[in-house]
Amino acid sequence: MMGGQTTEQGDCSRFKGNIPHCCKKDPTVVDLLPGTPYNQQIANCCKGGVLNSWVQDPATAGSSFQVSVGQAGTTNKTVRVPKNFTLKAPGPGYTCGPAKIVKPSRFVTADKRRVTQALMTWNVTCTYSQFLAQKTPTCCVSLSSFYNETIVPCPQCACGCQNTSQPGSCVDPKAPHIASVVPSTGKNNYAPLVQCTSHMCPVRVHWHVKQNYKEYWRVKVTITNFNYNMNYTQWNLVVQHPNFDNLTQIFSFNYKSLTPYTAINDTAMLWGVKFYNDLLSQAGQLGNVQSELLFRKDKATFTFEKGWAFPRRIYFNGDNCVMPPPDTYPWLPNGSSHQLISTLSLLTTLLAAMAFLLGYA
């Protein structure tokens, strides 16, 4: 193998001379680490299993490794298509379809004067499901604003409830010996060990409507990690809000507009700046990243009423985050008075009508 390796060699006792790299019929292949010796590398390999999203960095969104399969023949009639692909990135969540034979790949030489062709090429498509990856959600959203003192927290038990009958199911951040409570991350340990909170989510996204100007308005976004078992490397956040078509400036995050509905520009992808905040550390003092967004007001649509300033939907690393119920959003201070005036007006009108009818009778 080049650019990757199997986790186990298997039983190769029947080979006497040139011992194969692996003799298992269902090997698990992992990526090599950066800094691997050049004689073990191929092009576009050795990224430690970390793949960026295509939007964040197309150059690091793919990875390659090479396998030389013995006793498989040398023609496209003797080579058998592999089966039962499984992709872990990390943990479960991906379901892979069967390998499909497609048009053979073509390779251009370094001097670009000659093209060679593979004997056979097949594609395997793997799709991700949040429901297969974990039984409960992995993130939630809380809201606040400058015009209302109410801070709307994540919905209670958004990602599960505290198991009071089983001590140690979550971690109290005020514990004096928290380091002894949090185990070291072991092999294939993907289960979150979270702080004890009302929502029990590994990640919380907070959207705060910070300031209002004559022609602009400002939002502060904070992502907090409550997971003691995992750092989130090269994280990303997808936010849906109708004012993203007038985003003027973003501070300390990268931004790219997404247009899933072609003409409607209401979805944005945000991610950290390299070597600054592209790593969301595990729960603790450094377990958060934040940025501010400056929007230009569109006179035809802008309003602070009825929760318009809050996002419609948020995804963290591709997982849909649990939003608070719309009726709990921070409202303008005069929202309740409008409702009260309307009710009083209705009551006054009703009493006046009854008095008129009684007087007429």
**Which range among 75-79, 158-162, 173-177, 261-265 shows the weakest confidence by mean pLDDT?**
173-177
| Predicted pLDDT at 337 | 39
Residue 348's φ and ψ, nearest 5 degrees, are -65, -45
Percent of the chain with pLDDT over 90: 56
Fold of 137-162+193-328: Immunoglobulin-like (2.60.40)
Residues of the chain with CATH 2.60.40.290: 137-162+193-328
CB 223 within 8 A of CB 201: no
How many Cα atoms occupy the beta-carbon half-sphere of 20 within 13 Å? 19
d(CA 351, CA 218): 46
Give the C-alpha separation, 41 to 50, whole Å: 16
pLDDT of res. 50: 84
pLDDT digits 0-9 by tens, 172-206: 776 654 554 555 444 455 567 888 899 999 999 99
DSSP label of 354: H
Provide CB contacts within 8 A for 31, sequence distance 6+: 3, 4, 45, 46, 47, 48, 49, 63, 65
Two structure tokens written together for 299: 């006179």
CA-angle at 115, arms to 110 and 117, nearest 5°: 120
Q: Residue 161 has what pLDDT?
A: 86
Which DSSP state fits 191? Answer: S
DSSP string, 235-252: -EEEEE-GGGGGEEEEES
For 227, how many CA atoms within 13 A lie in the half-sphere containing its CB?
20
Neighbours of 263 (CB within 10 A): 5
Residue 351 parent element (H or E) = helix 335-360
- In b/e form, how buried is each residue of 265-300, taking b as 16+ CB within 10 angstroms? bbbbbbbbeeeebbebebbeeebbbebbbbbebeee
User: Coil, helix or strand for 54?
Assistant: coil
Query: For residue range 312-361, what is the model confidence (pLDDT) as tens digits?
Result: 999 999 899 999 999 999 988 875 434 433 444 556 666 666 655 555 55
- Burial classification of residue 209, based on how many CB atoms lie within 10 Å of its CB (0-12 exposed, 13-18 middle, 19 or more buried): buried
Residue 221: the pLDDT is 97
Both tokens of residue 148? 């209302």
> How far is Cα 243 from Cα 299, in angstroms, rounded to an integer?
11
Q: What's the rounded Cα separation, in Å, for the pair 267 and 160?
A: 28
- Give the model confidence (pLDDT) of 17-34 as tens digits: 889 999 999 999 999 999
235, 264 contact by CB (below 8 A): no
Segment 260-266 mean pLDDT = 79
Average pLDDT of the residues of the chain:
86
Cβ partners under 8 Å of residue 305, min gap 6: 331, 332, 335
Structure tokens at 26: 């269902």
Q: Tens digits of per-residue pLDDT, 233-254?
A: 889 999 999 999 999 999 999 9
CA 26 to each of CA 22, 32, 82, 157: distance values in angstroms, whole numbers, following the listed order: 10, 19, 10, 40
By the 8 A CB rule, do 40 and 32 touch?
yes
The pLDDT tens digits for 68-122 are 888 888 787 888 888 999 998 767 889 999 999 999 999 999 899 999 998 889 9
